Structure 1
Amino acid sequence: MKRTAITYARKSIKVRGQENERDSVLYQLNRINRYAEENGYEFIDSFSDIGYSGVLRSRPELNRMLEFLK
């Protein structure tokens, strides 16, 4: 039986070789997916905020994810 998980990523620090916000988020999601595959997780949903700072408490996809978890 696989464990289930959700993913959340947002634009964070600039990653070497990743020049824009979208690439940074895709990089994060790729890393999360690789970890999940190696550890038997199955994703049931994915959330990502592109262009939103972590300082902001209200981000569209973060809010959607929190509602999903209720």
Structure 2
Amino acid sequence: MPLVASRERSAAPFLRALAIESLWAVAAVALALTVVTHLAGPAGRAELMFLDGDSMIVPLFSHSILEGTAEQ
């Protein structure tokens, strides 16, 4: 039965890699949920992040046009 034993040994690295990849996927989802929860918190961070950032785009763009340094 050496053939069966070699199959079992070759499956172990695959299962180990699968377990490690699964743990990284769970960690990534947990981090994403933490960030979303933090931004959607009661302090209004999401509103500040989206509204304040959008209000700066037009002045920055017009300033770069006036200086002649607009992106090409």
TM beyond 0.5: no
TM-score under structure 2 length normalisation: 0.29
Q: Taking CA–CA contacts closer than 8 Å with sequence separation of 6 or more, which of the two structures ends up with the larger relative contact order?
A: 1
Structure ranking higher in helix proportion: 2
TM-score under structure 1 length normalisation: 0.30
CA radius of gyration, larger in = 2
